[in-house]
Amino acid sequence: MKLKNMATAAAVALFAVPSLVAADSFTISPTNLMVRGADRTATLTVKSGGPGRIQGQVRVMRWTRSGGKDSLTPTRDVVASPPVLHLERDKETTIRLVRLRKAPVRGQRECYRVLIDQLPGTRKGGSAVTFTIRHSVPLCFHPN
């Protein structure tokens, strides 16, 4: 009988927990950016999807591979605007990415990662576990 009560309690908890958890989330499109020739700009669309307001930080890192390992280093070659996001529920915004060098890419492509970190919000009352979500979108500038 005790086992049956425990199973019932576990089933109730399993179905009750999702109703208590309300994750703030966002989606990004496209998930891969390729810029060719003399073009120096690209855009990303960020859309909020959770029950509350989301805040985020946008950074661009130089992306290289050596010995099968990825390496990300800070750069000012490409800038993102806006660098900070504040989105209300079910709203969207556009992030503009601009390669600052005016000369076209020659030889090998230049690759970067656009990092969009969802910053933890402030909640009133109660206790909750918060997670920082990071989206990492590849951005490559190809020669002609």
Domain CATH number, residue 47: 2.60.40.10
Q: What is the mean pLDDT of residues 54-69?
A: 95
Q: Which amino acid is at 87?
A: L
Position 73 pLDDT exceeds 60: yes
DSSP state of 125: S
Give the pLDDT score at 78. 98
Per-chain mean pLDDT for the chain: 83
Q: Which residues of 122-141 are buried (b: 16+ CB within 10 A; e: fewer)?
A: eeeeeeeeeeebebebebbb
**Nearest partner of 42 among 65, 60, 62, judged by Cα:** 60
Position 5 pLDDT exceeds 80: no
Is 15 contained in some domain?
no
Is 10 contained in some domain?
no
> Using 50, 70 and 90 to split pLDDT, how confident is the model at 26?
confident
Position 125 pLDDT exceeds 80: no
- Which structural domain, as residue segments, surrounds residue 106? 22-142
Is 6 contained in some domain?
no
DSSP state of 105: P
* E strand or H helix that includes residue 11: helix 2-20
**Nearest partner of 134 among 57, 65, 61, judged by Cα:** 57
CA pair distance 115, 133, nearest whole angstrom: 10
Position 18 pLDDT exceeds 60: no
User: Using CB atoms within 10 A of its CB, is residue 54 exposed (0-12), middle (13-18) or buried (19+)?
Assistant: buried
Is 90 contained in some domain?
yes
Q: What is the mean pLDDT of residues 127-137?
A: 81
Is 91 contained in some domain?
yes
Number of domains in the chain: 1
User: Using CB atoms within 10 A of its CB, is residue 116 exposed (0-12), middle (13-18) or buried (19+)?
Assistant: buried
Is 117 contained in some domain?
yes
Question: Model's pTM, two decimal places?
Answer: 0.77
Is 1 contained in some domain?
no
- Residue 79 Cα to chain centre, angstroms: 16
Give the pLDDT score at 6. 52
Is 30 contained in some domain?
yes
- Comparing 17-21, 63-67, 120-124, the range with the smallest average pLDDT is 17-21
Q: Which amino acid is at 36?
A: R
